[in-house]
Amino acid sequence: MGSIILEARDVRYRYPRGMEAIRGISFHVRRGERVALVGPNGAGKSTLLLMFNGMIRPDSGILLFDNEPLAYDRDSLRRLRRRVGFVFQNPDRQIIAPTVWQDVAFGPTNLGLSEEQVRAAVEGALGAVGLAGFGRRPPHQLSSGEKKRVAMAGVLAMDPDLLVLDEPTNNLDPAGSEDIMELLDELGEKGKTIFISTHDVELAYPWADRVILLRAGEILQEDSPEVAFGDPDLVRRARLSVPALLELHRELERRGLSSPGRRPRTVLDLVRSVEQATRGGGARPPCGAIHVCNVDVTGREALARWLSAHDGISIGAMGTRAKQRAAGDGLPLDFSYGVIDKCMLSALNGRSSLILTVGGMVAQVEQRVARFREESGAAIDVRRVEGA
């Protein structure tokens, strides 16, 4: 468990001539954690988030970043905002420059970086969000999802330690939401601490390491997602709904169709739980294999040859670069979000699949499948594709 990066101690805030928006909130966030602040509209989520980078100063209580109380003089705020990247709910309100390049370069330029450093930061950030080559485009010609990515790139270019996102999937279509969550997963894997606010329980439930339920400026519950969302009364009081997966698990459990105990976080967990409850001592059918291909070292022709030898195999892509490669090679993707889980589900069903990914994520796939193999006893093989 990492050290504490952000802490709030009995924080209160009242809008001028308004009601008290934040009523004595205390919590902490550790390095590398993925935390979701979940609550209904008007719960005070955005207000609380704006305190993290000093945009709003609490009336009382203390906020600490890296164990230092927040200071509100100009220089301290600049230092803080360099380390706490904030992505607004509406990207149109965040994108300020006439071109994508200029917008992403805004933060690094104002930090006083050299031209070369600015250029490197912009190219790195645009590459990370999958918008390489978009630099000269004006923001008004982009889709909502692309604008959101530009807003994220603008923040990533400053290389913050903590990434705060207010309703990251608001106004996005399901595919756009999946892309953004996949991007957040990627950033999480790279060690960024990520704090999001949302009222979408289906989004927060499988993604977050920890969930903070907020209602009317107060914390109702703060725990792992399966505990925080596991109490229907609490969820109702927070004007939210129980995630569909948890509800389904509860009903299956009552009917003896799912094994009691740990609540499932993903469809894979639920399938395993159902299999355990229903199969008894029966033998498991043979599992399919998961092939992993590092697209950075596997050429187009080598991959095409491999695919022609494995006709009809399901293909998933993890990470922005892998997805771009798939699009460039004209490969239709069966899975683009939650790829490892979906491939393991296929494997449990006796079907093999291919995951396109890059660099360190190959090892991540192997570790994740090995962990599942140990827990479930399912003999799923992970094989590296030639050249990977």
Partner 1 sequence: MYEELLEDIAQGNALREVSPYLKLAVALGSILLCLLSESFVAPLAMALLLSLGVLLLARVDPRTYAALFAAPLSFALVSVGVILLLSGGADPLWGWQPLPWLSVSLTRESINEGILVLSRMIGGMSALIFLAVTTPMTDLFLVMRRCGIPEPVLDLAMMIYRAIFLILDQLVQTYQAQRMRLGYSSFGESIRSLSTLCGSVFIGSWIAGEDLVRAMDARCSAGKFAMPGDIQPVRAGPCLAVSAFLTMSALLVAITGSITVI
User: What gap in Å lies between CA 20 and CA 11, rounded to an integer?
Assistant: 11
CA separation, residue 42 to residues 45, 56, 131, 238 (Å): 7, 16, 33, 11
Among 4, 97, 248, 267, binds partner 1 (CB under 8 A): 97
Smallest gap from Cβ 268 to partner 1, in A, equals: 38
Interface residue with partner 1, options 16, 41, 136, 311 (CB under 8 A) = 136
Write the DSSP symbol of residue 141: G
Q: Which two tokens stand for residue 83?
A: 């380390």
Q: Is there binding between residue 117 and partner 1 (CB under 8 A)?
A: no
The residue (of 138 and 359) whose beta carbon lies closer to partner 1 is: 138
- End-to-end Cα distance, the chain: 31
Length of the chain: 388
Is 82 a binding residue for partner 1 by CB under 8 A? The answer is: yes
- The H-or-E segment that residue 178 falls in is helix 174-189
Nearest to 171 by CA among 90, 95, 94, 96: 90
Choosing from 29, 47, 51, 94, the residue that interacts with partner 1 (CB under 8 A) is: 94
In the complex with partner 1, the residue whose CB is nearer, 155 or 382, is: 155
Q: b vs e for 80-101, b when ≥16 Cβ sit within 10 Å of the residue's Cβ?
A: bbbebbbbbbebeebbebebbb
Smallest gap from residue 128 Cβ to partner 1 (A): 17
Stretch that binds partner 1, among 3-11, 28-36, 131-139, 187-195 (CB under 8 A): 131-139
| Residue 95 in contact with partner 1, rule: CB under 8 A | yes
Single residue of 26, 67, 141, 143 touching partner 1 by CB under 8 A: 141
Does 13 contact partner 1 by CB under 8 A? no
Q: Is 109 in the site for partner 1 (CB under 8 A)?
A: yes
Member of 16, 18, 112, 332 binding partner 1 (CB under 8 A): 112
Q: Is 24 left (phi over 0), alpha (psi -120 to 50) or beta?
A: left
Q: How far apart are CA 388 and CA 385, in angstroms?
A: 6
Nearest in space to 112 (alpha carbons), one of 150, 156, 79, 84: 79
- Which of 104-112, 251-259, 264-272, 360-368 is the region at the interface with partner 1 (rule: CB under 8 A)? 104-112
Give the residue, chosen from 92, 159, 231, 253, that forms a contact with partner 1 under the rule CB under 8 A: 92
CB of 53 to partner 1, least distance (A): 6
Instruction: Specify the residue, 39 or 139, whose C-beta has the smaller distance to partner 1.
Output: 139
- Where residue 369 falls (left for φ over 0; alpha for ψ -120 to 50; beta otherwise) is alpha
Alpha carbon distance 277, 139 (integer Å): 52
Residue 267 C-beta: closest distance to partner 1, Å: 37
Q: How far apart are CA 159 and CA 180, in angstroms?
A: 18
Residue 361 CB, shortest distance to partner 1, in Å, is: 29
| Helices within 89-163 (DSSP H only) | 91-94, 100-110, 115-128, 144-156
Tell me, residue by residue from 157 to 186, as one string, x for binding to partner 1 by CB under 8 A and - for no binding. Answer: -x----------------------------
Amino acid making up residue 319: G
- Which residue stretch of 19-27, 132-140, 142-150, 261-269 sits at the interface with partner 1 (rule: CB under 8 A)? 132-140
Binding partner 1 (rule: CB under 8 A), the pick from 78, 236, 284, 300 is 78
Whether the CA torsion 65, 68, 69, 73 is positive or negative: it is negative
- Pick between residue 136 and residue 255 the one whose CB is nearest to partner 1: 136
What residues form DSSP beta bridges with 64? 7, 69
- Interface residues toward partner 1, by CB under 8 A: 53, 55, 77-78, 81-82, 86, 88, 90, 92-99, 101-102, 105-112, 115, 118-119, 122, 135-141, 154-155, 158
